[in-house]
Amino acid sequence: ELTGEIPASFSQLRQLTLLHLFRNHLHGGIPPFVADLPNLEVLQVWENNFTLELPERLGSNGRLMKLDAATNRLTGLIPNSLCRGGRLETLILMDNSLFGPIPEELGACKSLIRVRVARNFLNGTIPAGLFDLPSADMLELSDNFFSGELPPRIAGRSLGTLVLSNNQITGGIPPSVGDLAGLQKLLMESNMLSGEIPAQIGRLKNLSNLNLSGNGIGGPIPAELAGCTSLGSIDLSRNNLTGEIPVEITHLQNLNTLNLSWNQLVGGIPQQVERMHSLTLFDLSYNNLSGKIPMGGQLFVFNESSYAGNPGLCGRPLRLAPCSPSNSGPSVCTTTPSQPLTPSKVLLTVGILAAAAIASVAAVVAARSCWSRGNYPNRWRMTAFQRLDFTVDDVVECLREDNV
């Protein structure tokens, strides 16, 4: 719960190697003398109220290994001297108001393991070297204003998280992303990416979260995605994807989120989707899909919103679009819901309901008579009934003048 500013007397701590001031209420600027501490290796000042710029010469002592200044009110540029000694491993500056580009010198800092600069106002092209760090396990650059294209080479067998969401990155997704053997999260949503989804992504056996939504990606959904056997979430919504939903994607038994909405997909929904018992979010809305909606397995829990905006679809979730033989094969009803009720239909329906009521009353009277005479049945008998796939409304819809 410390308050105030960093004391000027700290400048005398010439042997200081670690300065931990995180989670306090300190304010003001980080004094320039901090950059001149000759032995400083670790500077952690996250979750304070520091303002102004980072010391311009920070890291020039050649010993800095870890800098964490997240969640402050820092502005200005990222110093280009942070990795002057080639020892910097951790750079965490997220949740500030930093602006300008990432220095090219950081792209050449091969010692970096973790880079997190999300939620700032950084811009320019991301240095290509950041995508080729031999020891990096996390690269989080989301919620900035980065632009330009991704480099053709993206490497790093230790990289587990690559987050570039909510920027202005253009161009295609490099096929070399399939070389990131340890990648678990690939998040590139809300950019300006184009081209097609590279089939090489299917080589990522450890990938659990794939989000490419909100871009301009076209072409088909690659069937090779079925090779990402650890996938739990796929979001490809709000793109320009075409073609049919590949049946291979139904082999992903761990998938709990599948969002393909707002694309230009055609064809039917693969029947095998019924076998995906882990699905908790399923959205195919606003495409050009057609045919009958499968209703088996986990699909039973999804309502009309999962299929809205597909005029060619029919089936139970879409109450106003019953299936007909022409678009789905055998079905309960072949008429449209707009057909008005005629007096004969009303009379027949009332007659059916009245007969059912009389039968129910007779059954109750007979049962009470049996019990009152002491004629208890020797045992219960269970009769199984299979639920029919139509409702009373469907019966009424199917009534025609020629069968009343």
Tell me 325's DSSP state.
H
Beta-ladder partners of 258: 234, 282
Backbone angles phi, psi at 33, to 5 degrees: -65, -20
Q: Dump pLDDT digits (tens) for 345-358.
A: 445 555 555 665 56
Q: What is the extent of the structural domain holding 237?
A: 3-328
274 neighbors 253 (Cβ within 8 angstroms) = no
**What H or E segment, with its residue span, contains residue 28?**
strand 25-29
Confidence of residue 323 (pLDDT cuts 50, 70, 90): confident
Residue 117, both tokens: 């600069």
Lowest mean per-residue pLDDT among 145-149, 251-255, 310-314, 329-333 = 329-333
Same domain, residue pair 57 and 158: yes
Same domain, residue pair 183 and 214: yes
Same domain, residue pair 54 and 117: yes
Closest CA to 147 of 123, 163, 172, 128: 123
Residue 307, both tokens: 């299929």
Give percent of the chain above pLDDT 90.
Answer: 75
Rounded CA-CA distance 173/192 in Å is: 11
C-alpha to C-alpha distances, 143 to 127, 190, 217, 319, nearest whole angstrom: 17, 9, 20, 41
Same domain, residue pair 92 and 119: yes
Rounded CA-CA distance 246/402 in Å is: 44
Rounded CA-CA distance 300/293 in Å is: 10
Rounded CA-CA distance 23/177 in Å is: 37
Same domain, residue pair 176 and 108: yes
Closest CA to 100 of 68, 126, 129: 126
Question: How distant is the alpha carbon of residue 185 from its chain centre?
Answer: 10
Lowest mean per-residue pLDDT among 92-101, 202-211, 334-343 = 334-343
Same domain, residue pair 64 and 145: yes
Residue 350, both tokens: 């009332």
Rounded CA-CA distance 21/16 in Å is: 13
Residue 337 resides in a domain: no
260 neighbors 221 (Cβ within 8 angstroms) = yes
CATH number, domain with residue 106: 3.80.10.10
10-35 burial: b if 16+ Cβ within 10 Å, else e: eeeeeebeebebbebebeebbbeebb
Residue 124 pLDDT > 80: yes
pTM: 0.79
Residue 75 resides in a domain: yes
Going through 97-219 in order, the beta strands assigned E by DSSP cover 99-100, 114-116, 121-125, 138-140, 145-147, 161-163, 170-171, 185-187, 192-193, 209-211, 218-219
Same domain, residue pair 288 and 376: no
Backbone angles phi, psi at 192, to 5 degrees: -125, 35
Residue range 17-26: mean pLDDT, rounded: 95
Same domain, residue pair 136 and 251: yes
Residue 106, both tokens: 């950081």
Same domain, residue pair 14 and 161: yes
Residue 140 resides in a domain: yes
Residue 335 resides in a domain: no
Q: Dump pLDDT digits (tens) for 243-299.
A: 999 999 999 999 999 999 999 999 999 999 999 999 999 999 999 999 999 988 888
284 neighbors 307 (Cβ within 8 angstroms) = yes
Backbone angles phi, psi at 359, to 5 degrees: -65, -40
Total domains, the chain: 2
Residue 309 pLDDT > 80: yes
Residue 191, both tokens: 């950019």
Backbone angles phi, psi at 172, to 5 degrees: -95, 170
Q: Give the pairing of strands 114-116 and 138-140.
A: parallel
Same domain, residue pair 282 and 391: no
Same domain, residue pair 70 and 174: yes
Rounded CA-CA distance 380/389 in Å is: 28
SS3 label, residue 267: strand
